[in-house]
C-alpha cells in the first residue's frame, strides 16, 4: 500500500516538473496574449501539483490539511486563466485585461480565504478523514465547495463555447488547431469528474493536475507541429483598429482572417461577407488587387476608387507573413489613403505647367522685343535723325524768313513724328496683350466694324477702296476694343494689298462647331501657299515695297484673338486677281 501511496506522490512531483517544462516550451512565445494565459494555467497547475505532492509526502493529518489548503492558490485561479485563454484565442482582446481578470477572480480570492479559515466555519470541507493504513485524505464537501465547483465548470464551459465559436468563425486553416484545443480542454474536465464521482482507479486521488499538464503538453506540441497562433496573433499586433489605413490579413488559402473597420469603410464592404471568405471573391471587382496578392514577394500598387465624393487614391502594400519555421503563412495588406498627396501633385503639376507657359511667353516677348528692336532701330534712327536735322534747318530758315520752306519741313517733321508714334503704339500693344486680362461680353459686330472702318477713313479715301458687307453679323462673346484692333489691321492690309482700286467684301457665318467665322476678302495678287505660314509671325512683311509698316499688325491680331479663345488664318491661291481671305474665329454668344 505504501508503494502505491509513494507512487501517488511521485506522480504529482512528475506533474509539477512536467508543468514547468511546458512553461519553458511556451516561454519564447510569451509575447502572444493567448500564450501568456496558457503559461499562467501551467503555473497554477505546478502550484497545485507541488502542494498535492507534499500532501502525499507526510502521514500527519494536520500537515496534509495545510498542503491541501495551499494547493488552492493554484486551483482557485485555473478556471479564470482558462477562460481568459479562450477569450484571447477567439480575438476578444477588448475584454482581455488585468482589471477584468482580477474582477473575475473575486470568487477565487474568496475561496482561498474560506479554505484557509475552514476550521471556523466548515463551508468548504465539512469533514476531512484519513483512513488507517492510507495516505489519501477523504473530504466531505461543504456548500461553498459546490458553489466554487459550479463557478469553475461555468467558466470552463464558457471557455469551451469560445473554442467552438472559433471553430465555426475561423477558416478551415485553423479548424484542425481548434479541434486540438477543444480535445485538450476536455481532458481536465474528465479527470475532475472521475475524482468527484468516485469513478476512480485510485480512490481519493485527483487526476485533474495530471490532465491539465497533458493539456498544456498537447497545446505546446500543437504550437510546434501545427504552427498554432502563427498568423492571427502576429498580424493582430500590427492591427490597430483606430488606424485610418485599411488592414487585411489572409492565410495561405487566400481566405480573409482579419481586417479592421477602415477596410470596410474604404471598400464599402458587407462585413458579414468578409470574414473567412475568399479574397479573390470579395475583391473580384479589383483585378489589380488579385494579381498583386498572387505574387510571392512584397509589392505595392496604386488603387483608384470612385465614389460620391470623387476619386480617392490609395497605396496598397502587400507583405508576406512567415511562421516560426520561416514558411509562408499568409499576407498582410495595408491600404493607405494618398488622395491628398495625389491632389497636391496634380496642383503642383498644373502650377508648374502655368509657370512654364509664363516662362515661354516671357521668352517669346523678349524675343519679340529684341527682334523688333533690330527691325525698327534703323528706321527710328533715321526718323529721329531727320527730326533733329529738320529742327536745325528750321532755326536757320526762321532767321532768313523763308516761310514756304518752313511749312514743307514742318510737314516732314509731323510725318516723321507720326511714324515714330505708330511704331511705339504697336510695340506697346505687342508687349501688353499677353498680360492683359479682360472681361468678355456679347458684342455688336456691326458697331465694332464701323469703329474700325472709321479709324482707316483716310486710308480708304487715299486708295479709293470699296468695302461691301455681304451678310448679317452673327453675335459673339469677345472684348470689343481688341476686335476693333483686329478689324483695323485686316482692313488696312486689304486696302494696301487688295488691287487698284481695292475691292473688299466682309461677312460672317456660323460654323458646325458652334463658333463664328468673320472674314475679309480682297481682289489683289494673293499670297503664295508656301509664304502663308510666315504671315502671322512678328515683323513679317511679304511685300514691303507696296506699303510702309513693321509687320506687327497681323502678329498682334493673332495674339489678341487667341487670348479670346479664338483662331486666325488666311486662305489664298497666290494667283493674281484671286486675292486673299483673312479670317478669325470666335466663340458664339
What is the arithmetic mean of pLDDT over 454-483?
85
C-alpha cell at 440: 468678355
Residue 191 included in any domain: yes
Helices (runs of H) and strands (runs of E) counted in the chain:
20, 14
Q: Are residues 245 and 174 in the same domain?
A: no
Residue 580 included in any domain: yes
Characterize the bridge pairing of strands 328-337 and 310-322.
Answer: antiparallel
Under the banding of pLDDT at 50, 70 and 90, the label for residue 145 is: confident
What is the arithmetic mean of pLDDT over 497-520?
89
β-strand partners of 300:
317
Domain final residue pick, 314, 337, 360: 337
Q: Which of 191-195, 231-235, 409-413, 461-465 has the highest mean pLDDT?
A: 461-465
Lowest mean pLDDT among 81-85, 374-378, 426-430: 374-378
- 256-311 pLDDT, tens digit each: 877 888 888 888 888 777 767 888 888 888 888 888 777 878 888 888 888 777 88
DSSP strands (E only) in 254-374 = 256-259, 299-307, 310-322, 328-337
Under the banding of pLDDT at 50, 70 and 90, the label for residue 549 is: very low
Residue 234 included in any domain: no
- Complete DSSP assignment for 115-167: HHTHHHH-SSEEEEE--TT----EEEE-HHHHHHHHHHHHHHHHHHHHHHHHH
Q: Are residues 14 and 123 in the same domain?
A: yes
**Do 420 and 455 meet the contact criterion of CB atoms below 8 Å apart?**
no
Q: Are residues 496 and 410 in the same domain?
A: no
Q: Say yes or no to pLDDT of 229 above 60.
A: no
What is the arithmetic mean of pLDDT over 444-464?
87
User: 417: left (phi > 0), else alpha (psi -120 to 50), else beta?
Assistant: alpha
Domain final residue pick, 385, 411, 433: 433
Q: Are residues 411 and 358 in the same domain?
A: yes
The Cα-based distances of 279 to 85, 90, 195, 291 in angstroms read 29, 21, 49, 11
Which of 247, 184, 254 minimizes the C-alpha distance to 219? 184
Q: How many separate domains does the chain show?
A: 4
The Cα-based distances of 262 to 67, 98, 238 in angstroms read 54, 28, 14
The Cα-based distances of 158 to 80, 185, 481 in angstroms read 10, 12, 89
Dist CA 121 CA 125 (whole Å): 9
Which of 277, 280, 278, 298 minimizes the C-alpha distance to 289? 280
Residues with Cβ within 8 Å of residue 249, at least 6 apart in sequence:
231, 232, 235, 239, 256, 257, 258, 259, 321, 330, 331, 332, 333
From the centroid of its chain, how far is CA 228? 35
Under the banding of pLDDT at 50, 70 and 90, the label for residue 240 is: low
Under the banding of pLDDT at 50, 70 and 90, the label for residue 116 is: very high
C-alpha cell at 555: 502678329
Q: Say yes or no to pLDDT of 458 above 70.
A: yes
Q: Are residues 206 and 285 in the same domain?
A: no
Dist CA 75 CA 54 (whole Å): 15
Q: Are residues 199 and 253 in the same domain?
A: no
Per the listing, cell 482580477 goes with 102
Dist CA 67 CA 53 (whole Å): 9
Residues with Cβ within 8 Å of residue 427, at least 6 apart in sequence:
369, 372, 376, 552
Residues with Cβ within 8 Å of residue 411, at least 6 apart in sequence:
none
**Do 29 and 53 meet the contact criterion of CB atoms below 8 Å apart?**
no
C-alpha cell at 129: 478523514
Q: Are residues 183 and 151 in the same domain?
A: yes
DSSP code of residue 123:
S
What pLDDT was estimated at residue 540? Answer: 45
Domain final residue pick, 201, 229, 257: 229
Dist CA 567 CA 584 (whole Å): 6
Dist CA 85 CA 68 (whole Å): 26
CA dihedral (94, 99, 101, 105) positive or negative: negative
522 versus 574: which is more confidently predicted?
Answer: 522
What pLDDT was estimated at residue 588? Answer: 81
> Cα torsion at 110, 114, 117, 122 (round to 10°)?
160
Per the listing, cell 492558490 goes with 73
Residues with Cβ within 8 Å of residue 414, at least 6 apart in sequence:
none
Tell me if the bond preceding 44 is cis, omega within 30° of 0: no
Q: Are residues 118 and 221 in the same domain?
A: yes
- 174-199 pLDDT, tens digit each: 666 777 777 766 666 666 666 666 66
φ/ψ of 457, rounded to 5, equals -55, -45
Residue 111 included in any domain: yes
CATH number assigned to the domain comprising residue 222: 1.20.1070.10
Dist CA 78 CA 76 (whole Å): 6
Q: Which domain holds residue 294?
A: 239-337
Q: Are residues 104 and 166 in the same domain?
A: yes
Residue 127 included in any domain: yes
Residue 421 included in any domain: yes
Residue 195 included in any domain: yes
What pLDDT was estimated at residue 108? Answer: 92
Q: Are residues 83 and 221 in the same domain?
A: yes
What pLDDT was estimated at residue 424? Answer: 66
CATH number assigned to the domain comprising residue 249: 3.30.450.20
Q: Are residues 223 and 254 in the same domain?
A: no
Dist CA 42 CA 217 (whole Å): 10
Q: Are residues 447 and 427 in the same domain?
A: no
Under the banding of pLDDT at 50, 70 and 90, the label for residue 113 is: very high
From the centroid of its chain, how far is CA 54? 65
- 2-15 pLDDT, tens digit each: 344 456 667 777 77
Output the average pLDDT for the chain.
Answer: 77
Residue 64 included in any domain: yes
β-strand partners of 544:
none
Q: Say yes or no to pLDDT of 314 above 60.
A: yes
**Do 153 and 139 meet the contact criterion of CB atoms below 8 Å apart?**
no
Q: Say yes or no to pLDDT of 111 above 90.
A: yes
Amino acid at each position: 500500500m505504501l508503494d502505491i501511496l509513494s507512487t501517488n506522490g511521485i506522480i504529482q512531483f512528475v506533474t509539477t516538473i512536467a508543468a514547468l517544462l511546458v512553461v519553458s516550451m511556451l516561454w519564447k512565445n510569451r509575447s502572444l496574449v493567448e500564450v501568456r494565459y496558457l503559461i499562467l494555467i501551467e503555473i497554477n497547475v505546478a502550484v497545485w501539483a507541488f502542494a498535492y505532492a507534499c500532501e502525499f509526502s507526510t502521514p500527519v493529518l494536520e500537515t496534509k490539511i495545510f498542503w491541501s489548503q495551499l494547493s488552492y492558490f493554484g486551483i482557485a485561479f485555473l478556471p479564470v486563466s482558462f477562460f481568459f485563454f479562450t477569450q484571447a484565442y477567439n480575438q476578444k482582446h477588448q475584454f482581455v485585461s488585468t482589471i477584468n481578470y482580477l474582477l473575475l477572480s473575486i470568487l477565487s480570492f474568496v475561496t482561498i480565504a474560506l479554505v484557509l479559515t475552514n476550521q471556523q466555519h466548515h463551508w468548504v470541507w465539512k469533514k476531512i478523514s484519513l483512513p488507517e493504513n492510507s495516505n489519501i485524505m477523504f473530504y466531505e464537501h461543504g456548500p461553498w465547495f459546490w458553489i466554487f465547483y459550479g463557478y469553475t465548470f461555468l467558466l470552463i464551459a464558457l471557455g469551451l463555447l469560445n473554442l467552438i465559436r472559433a471553430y465555426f468563425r475561423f477558416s478551415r486553416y485553423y479548424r484542425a488547431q481548434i479541434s486540438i484545443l477543444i480535445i485538450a480542454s476536455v481532458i481536465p474536465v474528465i479527470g475532475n469528474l472521475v475524482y468527484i464521482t468516485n469513478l476512480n482507479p485510485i480512490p481519493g486521488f485527483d487526476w485533474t493536475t495530471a490532465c491539465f499538464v497533458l493539456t498544456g503538453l498537447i497545446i505546446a506540441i500543437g504550437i510546434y507541429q501545427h504552427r498554432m497562433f502563427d498568423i492571427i496573433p502576429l498580424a493582430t499586433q500590427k492591427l490597430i483598429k483606430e488606424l485610418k489605413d485599411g488592414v487585411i490579413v489572409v492565410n495561405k488559402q487566400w481566405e480573409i482572417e482579419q481586417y479592421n473597420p477602415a477596410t470596410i469603410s474604404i471598400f464599402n464592404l458587407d462585413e458579414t461577407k468578409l470574414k473567412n471568405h475568399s479574397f479573390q471573391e470579395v475583391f473580384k471587382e479589383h483585378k489589380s488587387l488579385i494579381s498583386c496578392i498572387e505574387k510571392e514577394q512584397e509589392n505595392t500598387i496604386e488603387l483608384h476608387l470612385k465614389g460620391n465624393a470623387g476619386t480617392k487614391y490609395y497605396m496598397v502594400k502587400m507583405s508576406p507573413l512567415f511562421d516560426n519555421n520561416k514558411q509562408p503563412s499568409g499576407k498582410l495588406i495595408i491600404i493607405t489613403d494618398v488622395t491628398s498627396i495625389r491632389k497636391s501633385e496634380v496642383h503642383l503639376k498644373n502650377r508648374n505647367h502655368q509657370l512654364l507657359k509664363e516662362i515661354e511667353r516671357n521668352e517669346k516677348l523678349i524675343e519679340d522685343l529684341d527682334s523688333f528692336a533690330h527691325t525698327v532701330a534703323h528706321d527710328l534712327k533715321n526718323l529721329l535723325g531727320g527730326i533733329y536735322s529738320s529742327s536745325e534747318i528750321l532755326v536757320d530758315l526762321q532767321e532768313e524768313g523763308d516761310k514756304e520752306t518752313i511749312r514743307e519741313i514742318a510737314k516732314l517733321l509731323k510725318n516723321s513724328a507720326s511714324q515714330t508714334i505708330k511704331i511705339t503704339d504697336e510695340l506697346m500693344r505687342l508687349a501688353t496683350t499677353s498680360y492683359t486680362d479682360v472681361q468678355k461680353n456679347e458684342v455688336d459686330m456691326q458697331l465694332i466694324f464701323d469703329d474700325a472702318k472709321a479709324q482707316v477713313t483716310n486710308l480708304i479715301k487715299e486708295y479709293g477702296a470699296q468695302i461691301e458687307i455681304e451678310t448679317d453679323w452673327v453675335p459673339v462673346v469677345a472684348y470689343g476694343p481688341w476686335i476693333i484692333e483686329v478689324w483695323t489691321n485686316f482692313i488696312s492690309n486689304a486696302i494696301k494689298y487688295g488691287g487698284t482700286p481695292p475691292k473688299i467684301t466682309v461677312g460672317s457665318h456660323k460654323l458646325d462647331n458652334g463658333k463664328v467665322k468673320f472674314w475679309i476678302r480682297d481682289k489683289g495678287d494673293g499670297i503664295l501657299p508656301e509664304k502663308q505660314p510666315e504671315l502671322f509671325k512678328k515683323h513679317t512683311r511679304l511685300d514691303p515695297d507696296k506699303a510702309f509698316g513693321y509687320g506687327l499688325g497681323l502678329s498682334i491680331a493673332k495674339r489678341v484673338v487667341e487670348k479670346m479663345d479664338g483662331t486666325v488664318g488666311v486662305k489664298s491661291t497666290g494667283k493674281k486677281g484671286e486675292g486673299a481671305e483673312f479670317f478669325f474665329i470666335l466663340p458664339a454668344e
